Amino acid sequence: MDTHPLQLTGCGLVLREWTSDDLAVMRELFDDPDVAHRTPLASPFGRADALRYLHNAGRARQSGERIHLAITTDGHQARGEILLNRVTGSIGYMVGAAHRGQGLAVRALGMMTEFAHTTAALPKVILEIEPDNHPSIAVARSAGFHPSGCSIPETVTDKGRTYDLLAWEHSLTADDRG
């Protein structure tokens, strides 16, 4: 597996791997009630959690399982995260509260979707979104995803909360394949 730092650029964004310099901003971004509600991340999210997350993200990249990238506009200050799970073909994303409403998630999702199709050679990628997560549904639609027609909601229990996740998908078209 390629161990060189991964960086994707385009659409006014630089998506780059997390580094130890990001620990404080990771805490700021991930220690948020909305993030805690919608993700399996620890809450509160402290320094030890950030260190563990950074270590696990690096290990997942080296094994080829997942790619975790910080969403930046300048290659430095992280404003959120986008990740690709190469095993399940799924993408996840979050943007910090102070940076929402700027189109960061839509642009990052478009870039990661293209990477998944072209570089990771995944013909289909999915998102798993709660039915009441209207901002995430808007991001999915804007990035060209559509509800999966053959999917039964997955019921998940996490942190004492039970909820459904609906699958949204993006597939390569015949034109995309050449």
Each residue of 18-50: pLDDT tens digit? 999 999 999 999 999 999 999 999 999 999 999
- Residue 88 scores a pLDDT above 80: yes
pLDDT of residue 13: 98
Amino acid 21: pLDDT: 97
Q: Which of 61-65, 70-74, 108-112, 147-151 shows the lowest per-residue confidence on average (mean pLDDT)? A: 147-151
Whether pLDDT at 129 is above 70: yes
| Residue 144, number of CB atoms within 10 A of its CB | 13
pLDDT, position 177: 52
Question: Would you say residue 3 has pLDDT above 70?
Answer: no
Q: Is the pLDDT of residue 109 over 90?
A: yes
On the CB side of 91, CA atoms within 13 Å amount to: 29
C-beta of residue 14 within 8 angstroms of C-beta of residue 72: yes
Which pTM value belongs to this model?
Answer: 0.93
| Residue 145 in this model has a pLDDT that exceeds 90 | yes
What is the number of residues in the chain? Answer: 178
Average pLDDT over residues 136-163: 92
Half-sphere exposure of 51 (CA within 13 A, CB side): 3
149 band by pLDDT with thresholds 50, 70 and 90? confident
